[in-house]
């Protein structure tokens, strides 16, 4: 599975790491909008992301391709958590691919 992680924009603090925290996620692309669905129950991580929803960057590194990253971010901070499904939803409207 591809590696996804979320960092705080200003402090560069790692808030979530799909490999480190052993989390499943998916990305859905709809008309220049990307919706991340992350299976998570850790309330501390969820609170940190929700508290900083206007200041996060999401990075995805394709499995086996450590030299290329995709950077996602939002101008809206559209993040919700559904405790009944234990899923975090992050909607972003910007995507940039680059080499490291």
pLDDT in tens, 56-69: 999 999 887 889 99
pLDDT in tens, the chain (100 residues): 899 999 999 888 999 999 999 999 999 999 999 999 999 999 999 999 999 999 999 999 988 788 999 999 998 889 999 999 999 999 999 999 999 8
DSSP 17-80: ETTTTT--EEEEEETTEEEEEEE---HHHHHHHHHTTTSEEEEEE-TT-TTEEEEEE-SS-EEE
CA distance readout (Å), 16 to 12, 30, 31, 35, 43: 12, 24, 26, 16, 12
Per-residue pLDDT, 11: 87
Domain boundaries, the chain: 3-99
């Amino acid at each position: 599975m591809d590696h996804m992680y979320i960092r705080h924009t200003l402090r560069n603090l790692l808030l979530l790491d799909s490999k480190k925290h052993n989390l499943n996620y998916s990305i859905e692309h709809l008309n220049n909008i990307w919706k991340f669905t992350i299976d998570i129950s850790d309330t501390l991580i969820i609170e940190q992301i929700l508290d900083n929803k206007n200041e996060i960057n999401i990075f995805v590194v394709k499995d086996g391709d450590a030299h290329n990253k995709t950077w996602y971010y939002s101008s809206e901070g559209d993040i919700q958590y559904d405790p009944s499904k234990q899923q975090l939803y992050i909607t972003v409207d910007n995507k940039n691919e680059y080499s490291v």
